Amino acid sequence: MDIASGRAALHNSPLTQRYARTADMHNDIRISLVIATYNWPEALRACVEGCFRQSDRNFEIIIADDGSGAPTRALVEELCARSPVPMRHVWQPDDGFRLAESRNNGILAASGDYIVTLDGDCVPQSDFIARHRALAEPGYMVTGSRILLNQAFSERVLREGIDLQSLSLGEKLRYRLQGGLGKAAQLLIKLPDVARRRHRFSFRRIKGCNMAFWRSDLERVNGFDESFRGWGYEDSDAVARLYHAGVMRKDGAYSTEVFHLWHREAKRDQASSNQHIVLKRIASKTTQAAVGLKEHAGEVAR
Protein backbone atom coordinates (compact mmCIF):
# COMPACT_ATOMS: atom_id res chain seq x y z
CA MET A 1 0.00 0.00 0.00
CA ASP A 2 1.41 3.42 -0.99
CA ILE A 3 1.42 6.45 1.32
CA ALA A 4 -1.66 8.06 -0.27
CA SER A 5 -3.67 4.86 0.03
CA GLY A 6 -2.52 4.44 3.61
CA ARG A 7 -3.66 7.93 4.49
CA ALA A 8 -7.03 7.35 2.86
CA ALA A 9 -7.48 4.08 4.75
CA LEU A 10 -6.61 5.79 8.04
CA HIS A 11 -9.02 8.66 7.31
CA ASN A 12 -11.85 6.21 6.61
CA SER A 13 -11.13 3.86 9.51
CA PRO A 14 -13.92 3.39 12.09
CA LEU A 15 -11.68 4.73 14.89
CA THR A 16 -10.85 7.93 12.99
CA GLN A 17 -14.47 8.46 12.06
CA ARG A 18 -15.56 7.94 15.68
CA TYR A 19 -13.08 10.56 16.92
CA ALA A 20 -14.27 12.95 14.21
CA ARG A 21 -17.89 12.48 15.25
CA THR A 22 -16.94 13.07 18.89
CA ALA A 23 -15.09 16.27 18.01
CA ASP A 24 -18.06 17.49 15.95
CA MET A 25 -20.43 16.75 18.84
CA HIS A 26 -18.24 18.74 21.24
CA ASN A 27 -18.02 21.67 18.83
CA ASP A 28 -21.81 21.76 18.54
CA ILE A 29 -22.40 21.95 22.30
CA ARG A 30 -24.01 25.26 23.25
CA ILE A 31 -22.26 26.35 26.46
CA SER A 32 -23.62 28.88 28.94
CA LEU A 33 -21.15 30.22 31.51
CA VAL A 34 -23.03 31.27 34.66
CA ILE A 35 -20.91 33.59 36.81
CA ALA A 36 -22.10 34.18 40.39
CA THR A 37 -21.24 37.56 41.92
CA TYR A 38 -21.99 39.81 44.86
CA ASN A 39 -20.61 43.32 45.42
CA TRP A 40 -17.00 42.84 44.33
CA PRO A 41 -16.77 44.57 40.95
CA GLU A 42 -12.95 44.65 40.91
CA ALA A 43 -12.79 40.86 41.06
CA LEU A 44 -15.69 40.48 38.64
CA ARG A 45 -13.85 42.63 36.10
CA ALA A 46 -10.77 40.37 36.29
CA CYS A 47 -13.00 37.30 35.99
CA VAL A 48 -14.95 38.51 32.97
CA GLU A 49 -11.88 39.93 31.21
CA GLY A 50 -10.44 36.42 31.50
CA CYS A 51 -13.62 35.06 29.93
CA PHE A 52 -13.28 37.52 27.04
CA ARG A 53 -9.84 36.06 26.25
CA GLN A 54 -10.98 32.45 25.89
CA SER A 55 -9.54 30.45 23.01
CA ASP A 56 -13.02 28.96 22.49
CA ARG A 57 -15.57 31.73 21.80
CA ASN A 58 -18.59 29.48 21.28
CA PHE A 59 -20.32 30.30 24.56
CA GLU A 60 -22.42 32.93 26.30
CA ILE A 61 -21.97 34.67 29.68
CA ILE A 62 -24.72 35.03 32.27
CA ILE A 63 -23.90 37.20 35.31
CA ALA A 64 -25.94 35.73 38.18
CA ASP A 65 -26.03 38.60 40.66
CA ASP A 66 -27.11 38.02 44.28
CA GLY A 67 -28.14 41.63 44.89
CA SER A 68 -25.06 43.73 44.12
CA GLY A 69 -25.29 47.52 44.13
CA ALA A 70 -24.80 50.24 41.54
CA PRO A 71 -21.00 49.81 41.00
CA THR A 72 -21.47 46.21 39.87
CA ARG A 73 -24.42 47.13 37.67
CA ALA A 74 -22.39 49.87 35.98
CA LEU A 75 -19.46 47.51 35.43
CA VAL A 76 -21.66 44.83 33.89
CA GLU A 77 -23.23 47.36 31.53
CA GLU A 78 -19.73 48.40 30.42
CA LEU A 79 -18.63 44.80 29.92
CA CYS A 80 -21.81 43.80 28.08
CA ALA A 81 -21.27 46.67 25.64
CA ARG A 82 -17.92 45.26 24.49
CA SER A 83 -18.30 41.55 25.12
CA PRO A 84 -17.09 39.35 22.24
CA VAL A 85 -19.77 36.79 23.17
CA PRO A 86 -23.46 37.14 24.12
CA MET A 87 -23.73 38.39 27.72
CA ARG A 88 -26.63 38.99 30.12
CA HIS A 89 -27.06 40.29 33.67
CA VAL A 90 -29.59 38.55 35.93
CA TRP A 91 -30.11 40.33 39.27
CA GLN A 92 -32.11 39.49 42.39
CA PRO A 93 -32.72 41.68 45.48
CA ASP A 94 -30.16 41.52 48.30
CA ASP A 95 -31.91 39.35 50.90
CA GLY A 96 -29.00 37.51 52.50
CA PHE A 97 -26.77 34.81 51.03
CA ARG A 98 -28.89 33.19 48.31
CA LEU A 99 -26.30 31.68 46.00
CA ALA A 100 -28.44 28.68 45.02
CA GLU A 101 -31.31 30.92 43.89
CA SER A 102 -28.92 33.22 42.05
CA ARG A 103 -27.43 30.28 40.14
CA ASN A 104 -30.90 28.99 39.29
CA ASN A 105 -31.78 32.41 37.90
CA GLY A 106 -28.68 32.25 35.74
CA ILE A 107 -29.55 28.77 34.49
CA LEU A 108 -33.09 29.86 33.62
CA ALA A 109 -31.73 32.83 31.66
CA ALA A 110 -29.19 30.68 29.79
CA SER A 111 -29.79 29.38 26.28
CA GLY A 112 -27.12 26.67 26.32
CA ASP A 113 -27.42 22.91 26.51
CA TYR A 114 -24.40 22.73 28.82
CA ILE A 115 -24.01 24.88 31.94
CA VAL A 116 -20.60 25.81 33.36
CA THR A 117 -20.59 27.59 36.73
CA LEU A 118 -17.90 30.03 37.76
CA ASP A 119 -17.62 32.48 40.65
CA GLY A 120 -16.91 36.15 40.10
CA ASP A 121 -13.80 35.97 42.28
CA CYS A 122 -12.17 33.39 40.00
CA VAL A 123 -10.13 34.09 36.88
CA PRO A 124 -10.23 31.29 34.29
CA GLN A 125 -7.27 30.17 32.22
CA SER A 126 -7.57 30.95 28.51
CA ASP A 127 -8.51 27.34 27.65
CA PHE A 128 -11.14 27.05 30.43
CA ILE A 129 -14.14 26.76 28.09
CA ALA A 130 -12.24 24.56 25.64
CA ARG A 131 -11.25 22.17 28.44
CA HIS A 132 -14.80 21.94 29.77
CA ARG A 133 -16.07 21.33 26.25
CA ALA A 134 -13.58 18.48 25.80
CA LEU A 135 -14.69 16.87 29.09
CA ALA A 136 -18.42 17.13 28.35
CA GLU A 137 -20.01 13.70 28.02
CA PRO A 138 -23.65 12.58 28.29
CA GLY A 139 -24.36 10.99 31.67
CA TYR A 140 -21.60 12.94 33.42
CA MET A 141 -21.06 16.22 35.20
CA VAL A 142 -17.64 17.78 35.85
CA THR A 143 -16.27 19.12 39.13
CA GLY A 144 -13.37 21.41 38.38
CA SER A 145 -10.45 22.63 40.43
CA ARG A 146 -9.04 25.93 41.66
CA ILE A 147 -5.69 27.48 42.53
CA LEU A 148 -5.79 29.76 45.55
CA LEU A 149 -3.94 33.08 45.49
CA ASN A 150 -2.76 34.59 48.77
CA GLN A 151 -3.89 38.00 49.96
CA ALA A 152 -0.84 39.97 48.83
CA PHE A 153 -0.76 38.52 45.32
CA SER A 154 -4.55 38.86 44.90
CA GLU A 155 -4.39 42.53 45.84
CA ARG A 156 -1.53 43.07 43.41
CA VAL A 157 -3.39 41.31 40.59
CA LEU A 158 -6.38 43.60 41.03
CA ARG A 159 -4.35 46.75 41.63
CA GLU A 160 -1.94 46.29 38.71
CA GLY A 161 -4.22 44.39 36.35
CA ILE A 162 -1.85 41.42 36.11
CA ASP A 163 -2.90 39.04 33.34
CA LEU A 164 -2.88 35.66 35.10
CA GLN A 165 -3.55 33.86 31.83
CA SER A 166 -0.26 34.96 30.30
CA LEU A 167 2.07 34.14 33.19
CA SER A 168 5.28 32.54 31.95
CA LEU A 169 6.61 29.26 33.30
CA GLY A 170 9.19 31.16 35.35
CA GLU A 171 6.56 33.50 36.80
CA LYS A 172 4.30 30.62 37.79
CA LEU A 173 7.15 28.89 39.60
CA ARG A 174 8.32 32.11 41.24
CA TYR A 175 4.85 33.01 42.52
CA ARG A 176 4.46 29.46 43.79
CA LEU A 177 7.76 29.60 45.70
CA GLN A 178 6.81 33.02 47.12
CA GLY A 179 3.44 31.69 48.28
CA GLY A 180 1.41 33.78 45.86
CA LEU A 181 -0.02 30.66 44.22
CA GLY A 182 -1.25 27.76 46.31
CA LYS A 183 -0.09 25.23 43.73
CA ALA A 184 1.58 25.24 40.35
CA ALA A 185 1.74 21.67 39.01
CA GLN A 186 -1.82 21.94 37.72
CA LEU A 187 -0.74 24.96 35.65
CA LEU A 188 2.21 23.13 34.13
CA ILE A 189 0.55 19.79 33.29
CA LYS A 190 -2.66 19.18 31.34
CA LEU A 191 -4.01 15.64 31.54
CA PRO A 192 -6.29 14.11 28.88
CA ASP A 193 -9.78 12.78 29.54
CA VAL A 194 -8.69 9.47 31.04
CA ALA A 195 -9.22 7.98 34.48
CA ARG A 196 -11.41 10.93 35.44
CA ARG A 197 -14.64 9.09 36.19
CA ARG A 198 -15.86 8.72 39.77
CA HIS A 199 -18.47 6.07 40.43
CA ARG A 200 -19.18 6.88 44.07
CA PHE A 201 -20.28 10.06 45.77
CA SER A 202 -17.52 11.95 47.57
CA PHE A 203 -17.31 15.44 49.05
CA ARG A 204 -13.78 15.72 47.69
CA ARG A 205 -13.20 18.46 45.08
CA ILE A 206 -16.74 19.75 44.91
CA LYS A 207 -16.34 23.47 44.26
CA GLY A 208 -19.36 25.38 42.99
CA CYS A 209 -16.95 28.00 41.65
CA ASN A 210 -16.02 25.57 38.85
CA MET A 211 -18.50 22.90 37.78
CA ALA A 212 -20.30 21.83 34.61
CA PHE A 213 -23.61 20.09 33.95
CA TRP A 214 -25.93 19.18 31.12
CA ARG A 215 -28.94 21.45 31.41
CA SER A 216 -31.30 18.49 31.05
CA ASP A 217 -29.67 16.81 34.06
CA LEU A 218 -30.07 19.93 36.20
CA GLU A 219 -33.72 20.19 35.18
CA ARG A 220 -34.22 16.54 36.08
CA VAL A 221 -33.17 17.19 39.71
CA ASN A 222 -34.78 20.66 39.91
CA GLY A 223 -31.50 22.56 39.89
CA PHE A 224 -29.79 23.99 42.96
CA ASP A 225 -31.81 23.90 46.17
CA GLU A 226 -32.84 27.37 47.30
CA SER A 227 -33.89 26.12 50.72
CA PHE A 228 -30.17 26.25 51.57
CA ARG A 229 -29.57 29.63 53.22
CA GLY A 230 -26.21 30.90 54.38
CA TRP A 231 -22.84 29.64 53.22
CA GLY A 232 -22.07 26.09 52.31
CA TYR A 233 -22.94 22.73 50.76
CA GLU A 234 -25.56 23.75 48.21
CA ASP A 235 -23.03 22.59 45.59
CA SER A 236 -22.43 19.25 47.33
CA ASP A 237 -26.19 18.79 47.59
CA ALA A 238 -26.57 19.26 43.84
CA VAL A 239 -23.80 16.75 43.09
CA ALA A 240 -25.30 14.20 45.50
CA ARG A 241 -28.78 14.50 44.01
CA LEU A 242 -27.41 14.19 40.48
CA TYR A 243 -25.52 11.08 41.55
CA HIS A 244 -28.72 9.49 42.88
CA ALA A 245 -30.43 10.42 39.60
CA GLY A 246 -27.80 8.43 37.72
CA VAL A 247 -25.45 11.22 36.67
CA MET A 248 -21.83 10.24 37.26
CA ARG A 249 -18.98 12.63 37.93
CA LYS A 250 -15.73 13.53 36.20
CA ASP A 251 -12.77 15.14 37.92
CA GLY A 252 -11.63 18.32 36.17
CA ALA A 253 -8.30 18.63 37.99
CA TYR A 254 -5.20 19.17 35.81
CA SER A 255 -7.46 20.56 33.12
CA THR A 256 -9.97 23.22 34.22
CA GLU A 257 -8.16 25.07 37.03
CA VAL A 258 -9.19 28.65 37.79
CA PHE A 259 -7.29 31.28 39.80
CA HIS A 260 -9.26 31.96 43.00
CA LEU A 261 -8.65 35.47 44.36
CA TRP A 262 -8.21 35.78 48.12
CA HIS A 263 -11.04 37.23 50.18
CA ARG A 264 -12.24 37.04 53.75
CA GLU A 265 -14.37 33.98 54.26
CA ALA A 266 -18.12 34.38 54.48
CA LYS A 267 -19.86 33.63 57.74
CA ARG A 268 -20.35 29.89 58.04
CA ASP A 269 -23.08 29.86 60.67
CA GLN A 270 -25.25 27.52 58.59
CA ALA A 271 -22.46 25.27 57.32
CA SER A 272 -22.89 22.43 59.81
CA SER A 273 -26.67 22.34 59.47
CA ASN A 274 -26.40 22.48 55.67
CA GLN A 275 -23.96 19.57 55.71
CA HIS A 276 -26.37 17.64 57.94
CA ILE A 277 -29.11 18.14 55.35
CA VAL A 278 -26.86 16.80 52.60
CA LEU A 279 -25.94 13.73 54.66
CA LYS A 280 -29.61 12.98 55.28
CA ARG A 281 -30.35 13.32 51.58
CA ILE A 282 -27.49 11.00 50.69
CA ALA A 283 -28.90 8.41 53.06
CA SER A 284 -32.41 8.77 51.59
CA LYS A 285 -31.13 8.96 47.99
CA THR A 286 -33.00 12.21 47.40
CA THR A 287 -32.91 13.52 43.83
CA GLN A 288 -35.17 16.59 43.90
CA ALA A 289 -34.41 20.07 45.22
CA ALA A 290 -37.06 21.19 47.70
CA VAL A 291 -37.14 24.63 46.06
CA GLY A 292 -35.51 24.95 42.66
CA LEU A 293 -35.97 25.56 38.95
CA LYS A 294 -39.58 24.38 38.80
CA GLU A 295 -40.64 26.98 41.31
CA HIS A 296 -39.45 29.73 38.94
CA ALA A 297 -41.31 28.47 35.88
CA GLY A 298 -42.08 31.39 33.60
CA GLU A 299 -40.24 34.02 35.67
CA VAL A 300 -37.12 34.39 33.47
CA ALA A 301 -37.49 34.29 29.72
CA ARG A 302 -34.86 32.26 27.88
> What spatial distance separates the first Cα and last Cα of the chain, rounded to whole Å?
55
Tens digit of pLDDT for each residue in 277-295?
A: 899 999 999 999 999 999 9
Q: 72, 46 in Cβ contact below 8 A?
A: no
Residue 276 CA to residue 233 CA, distance in Å, equals 9
Tens digit of pLDDT for each residue in 14-28?
A: 544 544 444 455 778
State the fold for domain 26-292.
Spore Coat Polysaccharide Biosynthesis Protein SpsA; Chain A (3.90.550)
Strand, coil or helix: 274:
helix
Beta carbons within 8 Å of 250's beta carbon, 6+ residues apart: 135, 137, 140, 141, 142, 143, 193, 196, 197, 198
Tens digit of pLDDT for each residue in 161-199?
A: 999 999 999 999 999 999 999 998 999 888 888 767 876
How many residues does this entry show for the chain? Answer: 302
Residue 211 CA to residue 209 CA, distance in Å, equals 7
Report residue 200's pLDDT band, with 50, 70 and 90 as the boundaries.
confident
Question: Would you kindly state where each structural domain of the chain is located, as residue ranges?
Answer: 26-292
Q: What is the pLDDT of residue 208?
A: 85
DSSP state of 196: -
Residue 74 has pLDDT above 80, yes or no: yes
Q: Among residues 301, 283, 302, 290, which one has the least CA distance to residue 222? A: 290
Beta carbons within 8 Å of 17's beta carbon, 6+ residues apart: none
Q: Give residue 148's identity as a one-letter amino acid code.
A: L
Q: Would strands 210-214 and 140-143 be described as parallel, antiparallel, or unpaired?
A: antiparallel
What is the layout of strands, in order, in the sheet containing 258-260?
A: 122-124, 258-260, 146-148
Q: How far is CA 173 from the centre of its chain?
A: 25
The beta strand positions in 127-257, using DSSP E, are 140-143, 146-148, 197-198, 210-214, 248-251
Q: Name which residue leads in pLDDT, 200 or 235.
A: 235
Residue 222 CA to residue 287 CA, distance in Å, equals 8
Over residues 241-254, mean pLDDT: 94
DSSP symbols for 44-67: HHHHHHHHHT-S---EEEEEEESS
Residue 252 CA to residue 133 CA, distance in Å, equals 11
Phi first, then psi, for residue 141 (nearest 5°) are: -115, 170
Residue 221 CA to residue 4 CA, distance in Å, equals 52
Report residue 264's pLDDT band, with 50, 70 and 90 as the boundaries.
confident
Q: How far is CA 192 from the centre of its chain?
A: 19
Q: Among residues 205, 58, 208, 215, which one has the least CA distance to residue 128? A: 58
Over residues 246-260, mean pLDDT: 94
Tens digit of pLDDT for each residue in 103-159?
A: 999 999 999 999 999 999 999 999 999 999 999 999 999 999 999 999 999 999 999
pTM more than 0.85: yes
